[in-house]
Structure 1
């Protein structure tokens, strides 16, 4: 019985090691994608921010009649 338990434990450790090894390489790619997306959002916001602000102020002034 003890021998079967140690075989099972060895299989679980091997499977867990395979899972951990597979996931380890993806972290830098996801970090890069996140940083690039954030950079694009900042760039688009910087370019379109003043136009959107003017559009918003114009819409509010039409609604309120000021």
Structure 2
């Protein structure tokens, strides 16, 4: 009787795992997508810094001067 329960439990657990994660390879994630997002973000920041670097620095210094009085 206990052997049958163990076998049933093993089958149930395997079926549950298969239902929850049908493709074990899908756990790897989308590495090329994240690389693309990171590179695009770096490009946008570099572009903005090139065009508005002095203005951003002035705004930052004005904000710090306002805090210190």
TM bin (shorter chain): 0.5 to 0.7
User: In the aligned structure 2, how far is the partner of 1:36 from the partner of 1:54?
Assistant: 28
Equivalent pairs, count: 62
1:55 to 2:33 alignment: no
Residue 32 of structure 2 corresponds to 32
After superposition, the C-alpha distances for 1:13-56 in whole angstroms (9 at most, x for unaligned) are: 2322454442423535x212211110101111121112332112
Return 5+ residue gaps in structure 2 as ranges: none
Return 5+ residue gaps in structure 1 as ranges: none
Taking structure 1 as the reference length, the TM-score comes to 0.62
What is the alpha-carbon root mean square deviation over aligned residues? 2.6
User: In the aligned structure 2, how far is the partner of 1:36 from the partner of 1:56?
Assistant: 26
Residue 10 of structure 1 corresponds to 11
Displaced runs of 4 or more, over 6 A: none
Taking structure 2 as the reference length, the TM-score comes to 0.60
